[in-house]
Amino acid sequence: MFLVSLLRGPKAYAESKKVSGTVKTSSDLERNLIQSTASKPAIPVGELWNAVGSYSSADPEWNNATFFSVWFMENLNFIGHEIVTFKGGDQIFRTVKGKAKALNVHDWTADYEGWFVGGTGKFKGVKGTWKAKTVLTQSENTTEWETQYEIK
Report which of residues 8 and 74 the model is more confident about: 74
Report which of residues 129 and 105 the model is more confident about: 129
Report which of residues 30 and 73 the model is more confident about: 73
Residues 17-47: tens digit of each pLDDT: 999 999 877 655 556 666 666 666 666 667 7
Quick check: 137 pLDDT over 70?
yes
* 61 domain-assigned: yes
DSSP string over 63-126? TT-EEEEEEEEETTEEEEEEEEE-TTS-EEEEEEEEEEEESSSS-EEEEEEEEEEEE-GGGTTE
Report CA Rg, the chain. 19
* 2 domain-assigned: no
Contacts of 47 (CB under 8 A, 6+ apart): 31, 32, 33, 34, 72, 73, 74
* Domains contained in the chain, number: 1
Residues 87-127: tens digit of each pLDDT: 999 999 999 999 989 888 888 899 999 999 999 999 999 99
CATH classification of the domain holding 146: 2.40.350.10
The neighbouring-strand residues paired with 118 are 93
Give me the domain span that covers residue 20. 13-151
